[in-house]
Structure 1
Amino acid sequence: MQDKEIENITIINTYVKNKNDVTFEICLDSAIDDSCSRFLLSLINDYEEGKWRFEKFNDYIMDTLAETALSKKEREALGERSYSLIKQSIKNLNKKKGEIGEIFLYGIMKKYYNALPIVPKIFYKQNTNDYAKGADSVHLTIENQECHLWLGESKIYTNIKSAIDEAIESIQELLQKNKLNKEKSIITNLNDLELYMKDKKDEISEKNINKIKKILKQEASMDELKKILHIPISIIYQCYITNQYDELSEEYKQKIANFHKDQAKIIIKKIAEKLGSIHNIHEIKFHIILFPVPEKNKIENDFIKNLGAFSND
């Protein structure tokens, strides 16, 4: 390739920071629209001795649990006592199978996007008796000294079509002004935002810290919020392709990549159809995160079993 050709290549920022030292292999990480505001992150687990690695996935969920179910102060108080962290986290859980999706997304946001978990949503729901619909995850990323707000939606379904439909419906509700104001209120009422900003003072200027605080105020315009808003849509789904293979072959990867590209196009089309009337929807960046599993019921049953093992100690 000539030097001139190299100079003309545009490197698209998909916001994924870590692409090598990660738990699950990245099958695809790319923009999927001309405006570079719609992205696809396709992740896959590997196999061992001819079987999909359920134990690796289960360990990932349990290791991530404390990020979602404990506040920053609680985690710091328990320090490096990982066993105590998990036991305390389980006390804050509803022990619902659907929480696997929330825990998974929290881990992906932290590990792949270097995101700060500003609101531990499971902790918040359990400690306020608040079961109203809202974002499944709330994170901040720092991009060129500026804060970006991430409000995530997670699903774990047998059928990916049903998962997509439910996710779009949830996002449509989330993007209503009263729901967004509620999310802003949760963020500003918890101390975690201040604590994280102190930790990141070398990466973000005081001017930009004040800017994000201003945007998060109730009286601030939603137009300003949408300029920094990202919505990750995480879907764990039962996959017939994954069931057909016993190793992480190039053929398997290509089939998953093709399938995920097709599903991403469906999601982008539904966003345009269902959310197109929302003012400044084009300002919001959507990140589609797809993860195939061979058997959804086993994932859920293993999760409940693992929780029970710690609860009974």
Structure 2
Amino acid sequence: MTFQGDGPLDTSSVSGGGGGGGGAGRIALGGGAGLIITLVALFFGINPGDLTGGGSATGAGNVNNGTSAEIQQQIDSCTLEKANTDDICRIVATVNSVNNVWNDQLQGYTEPKTVIFRDSVNTGCGAASSATGPFYCPADQTAYFDPSFFAQLKQMGGSDGPLAQEYVVAHEYGHHVQNLTGALQKGNRLGSQGPQSGSVRVELQADCLAGVWAYHADKGPDALLEPLTQQQISTVIQTAKAIGDDTIQGSRSNPEGWTHGSAAQRSRWFTTGYRSGDARQCDTFATNDL
């Protein structure tokens, strides 16, 4: 268990979507003023530069079958208690927790939307499939999750523990924080590949911001999480290492092609955020010692 208590969750910013066969496996990344942002396919080591184009956007989470209604019904039934046993409700509860933390930590924070989908989904950044992995679209300020990713993450060597799944959600919300602060735009100007690239700096900062969330998520009278244990934190570290560029690419790994950072870097930056609880310690743009 990670969530404490029972009772309904705030589902006002979460909706269901997706379904149907053979959705597009590519996504157009972008937002405002022609900005091209190299930030998703976040966990599969895909070169974001190869993903631009994608399908046409028809609205966030827009689908043509009953799957979205089925997911929405499950979302609407979520409680804190269910969040400890159900992947969809765990995403919803984490959204509640992450929004609570950033509303306290970041002046001017505005809550993004979240779409939980299956198979494929249309977004403000284009069409995406489950193969894209969890992602954040700055064009519609929405985070997208297919819960089937958690099983794939375990196959990649990550953990399927509750906090590891919550880390995935918090990482995507870290991208929303970056969108609000201008870090995404800064990362875009610094390039999409290489060990010192803007893409790597963006991803490592999002890991650090997820750590900041974890530091605050179990503190205070309104905390939704029970006190975190070192064993739970170790599942996040395991997961961060499993999705490092060098881990995913194995012996073929070439730092000049990195987009997300190494296993050691991803785990180190999450740990930096978790130990400090201070977003100011997450400035991956101020150092070359990534």
Is the pair's TM-score, using the shorter chain for normalization, greater than 0.5? no
Kindly indicate which of the two structures has a greater share of residues assigned to strand: 1
TM-score range, shorter chain: 0.3 to 0.5
Q: What is the TM-score when the length of structure 2 is the normalising length? A: 0.34
Q: What is the TM-score when the length of structure 1 is the normalising length? A: 0.32
Kindly indicate which of the two structures has a greater share of residues assigned to helix: 1
